[in-house]
Amino acid sequence: MTVRIEKIRCIATAPADIRLVVVKVETTEPGLYGLGCATFTQRPLAVIEAVESYLDPFLRGRDVSEIEDIFQSSYVSSYWRQGPVLNNALSGVDMALWDIKGKRAGMPVHDLLGGKTRMAAPVYVHASGRDFAEVTDRARALMADGFRHVRIQSEVPGQSTYGTESDLKPHEQVNGPVSPQNIFEPADYARLAPRLFEHVRSELGDEVELLHDIHERLPAPLAIQLAKDLEPYRLFFLEDPLPPEELTYFRRLREASHVPLAMGELFTNVNEYLPLIREQLIDFIRVHISDVGGLSMARKIAALCEFFSVRTAWHGPGDTSPIGHAANLALDVSISNFGIQEFTVFNQATLDVFPGCPTLRDGMLWPNDAPGWGIDLDEELAAKFPYPEHPFNGAWPAIRRRDGSCVRP
Ligand code: GCO
Ligand code: MG
C-alpha cells in the first residue's frame, strides 16, 4: 500500500546550547515517521519557515518512497535555489525520507547505500588552547583516550582566534571599536601557526595525525605562505584555506604547496565544488551535508569524488544534530573513498534527547544497525532545551582588523 506524507514540521531544540533544527516527516502509516537534519544555526528561524510554510504544503500527499523525485521537484519549486536556507530545508525532508525508507525496509541507511565498507569511521576531534603547552596537553589527553587524529588551534595572544576560547561568542555583541574580544590580525596568526606545529610535533612525535583549520581567515597570499610553512609538519590536512569567494586562487595554492587540502564546509552550490574536484585541486571534500541539500546530494558528491581520488571529510561540528552526524556516518561506512570524519562529542542532554546516537570507541564512530538512522527524538525532552536567549537569534557578530574592517568569515 502506498504510504504518503501527511505532515512536515520542525523541532527546534538546543540540548548543547547550540540551535538545532530537526525535521519530522509524518506519514499516513500510524507510527511511521522520519527525522532529518536541517540545522543552519545562524539562521534557524528562516529554515523553519521554509519547511513549514513551503515544503509542507508542497509535499503533503506525496508517496514517501519517491525520494529522488521529491528532492528534484522541491529543489526547483522555489525557482531560485542552492542557498543554505533552502538546502537545509530540503535536507531535513530528504534525510527524513531516507529514515522512513530504512524503517520500511528494516535496514539501516548504510545498508540502503550498499552496505558496509568498514566497521566504523575514524574521527578527528579538536584540541585548542591559550598557548602551545595547553594545546599539547589537550592533544595528549585526547590521544590517551584513543584518538589518533587531532585538530590543533592556538590563540593569538590578545586576539579573537578561530577555534579557541578567545573566539568571539555568538552572544557577545561587539559593535563598538575593536577590542581583544573581536580583533583579528591575519599576519599575526599566520606567523604563529607554524610555530604551534613545530612545538606540538616535537612534543608528541610523528605518529599522531595533526589537522588545522584556517577557517578562511587569511588573504590568499598569506594562506599560500602558511601552507608552505606548514609542509615540514606532515599535516593530515589543512582546512578551508580560502573562502568560497576566492576559489580561482586554488590553482596557485596547489602549485605552491604539497600540504593536503580539505575544503568546503561553506559550499552550498554545485558550481563551487565541481571545479575543485574535477581539477583535483583539493584532497578532501568537507561539505556540510545539510547545507548541500541532504543525503541524496552528498552521496552523489561522494561518488563523483571517488573517480577523482578525492576523499571525504564531512563537516561534523556541534551545530549538526545527531541525525546529521548519522547521515555523515552512513556515508563514511558505506563508501570506498572515505577520508576522515570530524566529530563533536555529544553531551548528556543531547544523548537523552536523541536516543540511539552513534557511539564513540577507540577513536572511531560506530553506527548502530537499527532501521533508518536508528535514532529517535524525545520531543517532550527536546522542548525542555529551547534556544538560548540571544540578541540576534544565533547570527555571528563581526570579527575586525585593527583598522576596524571586517574579517571573513
Ligand atoms: C569546523 C567548523 C565549525 C564552524 C561552525 C559554523 O571545522 O568544525 O569550522 O567550527 O565554524 O560549524 O557554524
Ligand atoms: Mg572548519
Indicate the pairing of strand 237-239 with strand 261-263.
Answer: parallel
pLDDT confidence of 98, banded at 50, 70, 90?
very high
3-state SS, residue 264: coil
The answer to whether residue 301 scores a pLDDT higher than 90 is: yes
State the pLDDT at residue 290. 98
Atom of ligand 1 nearest to the CA of 319: 12
Is 39 part of a structural domain of the chain? no
- pLDDT tens digits for 45-74? 999 999 999 999 999 999 999 999 999 999
Residue 40 has pLDDT above 80, yes or no: yes
* Pocket test residue of 319, 342, 343 for ligand 1, highest count of atoms within 8 A of CB: 319
Q: How confident is the model at residue 171 (pLDDT cuts 50, 70, 90)?
A: low
Cis omega (within 30 of 0) on the bond before 409?
yes
CB of 57 within 8 A of CB of 77? no
Residue 175 has pLDDT above 70, yes or no: no
CA of 98 to the centre of ligand 1 (A): 25
Alpha carbon of 213 to ligand 2 centroid (Å): 5
Please tell me the distance between residue 317's alpha carbon and the centre of ligand 2 in angstroms.
Answer: 8
pLDDT of residue 173: 61
Residue closest by Cα to atom 6 of ligand 1: 319
Angle subtended by helix axes 270-278 and 295-307, to nearest 10: 20
Question: Which residue has its alpha carbon closest to ligand 1 atom 9?
Answer: 215
User: What CATH number corresponds to the domain at position 205?
Assistant: 3.20.20.120
Which atom number of ligand 1 is nearest to the Cα of residue 344? 8
Residue 31 has pLDDT above 90, yes or no: yes
| Residue 343 pLDDT > 70 | yes
Tell me which residue range forms the domain holding 197.
Answer: 112-372
pLDDT beyond 80 at 176:
no
Whole-prediction pTM: 0.97
Overall average pLDDT of the 220-240 stretch:
98
Asked if the structure places residue 100 within a domain, the reply is no
Asked if residue 36 is part of any domain, the answer here is no
Mean pLDDT along residues 220-234:
98
Ligand 2: centre distance to CA 218 (Å): 14
Q: Which atom of ligand 1 lies closest to the CA of 42?
A: 13
Q: What whole-number distance in Å separates Cα of residue 387 and Cα of residue 393?
A: 8
Task: Using alpha carbons, select from 30, 31, 34 the residue that is nearest to residue 377.
Answer: 34
| The three grid cell numbers given for residue 20, joined into one nine-digit string | 538545532
Arithmetic mean of pLDDT, 69-82: 98
Handedness of CA 130, 228, 283, 270 (dihedral sign): positive
User: Is 260 a member of any domain?
Assistant: yes
Residue 174 pLDDT level (bands cut at 50, 70, 90): low
**Inside any domain, residue 208:** yes
Give me the mean pLDDT over the 337-343 stretch: 98
User: Is 59 inside a domain boundary?
Assistant: no
* Residue 170 confidence (pLDDT) above 70: no
- Kindly tell me if the per-residue pLDDT of 409 is higher than 90: no
What pLDDT score was predicted for residue 376?
Answer: 98
Q: State the total domains in the chain.
A: 1
**Per-residue confidence (pLDDT) for residue 77, from 0 to 100:** 98
Does the annotation mark 233 as catalytic?
A: no
In the structure, how many helices (H) and strands (E) does the chain have?
15, 15
83 close to ligand 1 (CB < 6 Angstrom): no
Query: Helix (H, G, I), strand (E, B), or coil: what is residue 353?
Result: helix
Please tell me the distance between residue 39's alpha carbon and the centre of ligand 1 in angstroms.
Answer: 12
Classify residue 80: in a domain, yes or no: no
pLDDT > 80? residue 154: yes
Q: Which atom of ligand 1 is nearest to the CA of 213?
A: 7
213 lines ligand 1 (CB under 6 A): yes
Predicted local distance difference test score (pLDDT) of residue 167? 80
Q: Does ligand 1 lie within 6 Å of residue 153's CB atom?
A: no
- Over residues 123-145, the pLDDT tens digits come to 999 999 999 999 999 999 999 99
Q: Which long-range contacts (CB under 8 A, 24 or more apart) does 242-251 make?
A: 242/216, 242/218, 243/216, 243/408, 243/409, 244/216, 244/272, 245/408, 246/220, 247/272, 247/275, 247/276, 249/220, 249/223, 250/276, 250/281, 250/282, 251/279, 251/281
The residue whose C-alpha atom lies closest to atom 8 belonging to ligand 1 is 317
If you take atom 5 of ligand 1, which residue's CA is the nearest one?
A: 317
Q: What is the pLDDT of residue 180?
A: 74
* Three-state DSSP class for residue 249: helix
How high is the pLDDT of residue 391?
83
The answer to whether residue 57 is domain-embedded is no
272 C-beta closer than 6 A to ligand 1: no
**Other CB atoms closer than 10 Å to residue 357's CB: what's the count?**
22
Torsion of CA 280, 283, 288, 294, to 10 degrees: 60
Percent of the chain with pLDDT over 90: 89
Please confirm, yes or no, whether 249 is among the known catalytic residues: no
Question: How confident is the model over 248-294, as pLDDT tens digits?
Answer: 999 999 999 999 999 999 999 999 999 999 999 999 999 999 999 99
- The span from the first CA to the last CA of the chain, in angstroms, equals 49
Predicted pLDDT at 137 = 98
The whole-angstrom separation of Cα 126 and Cα 139 is 8
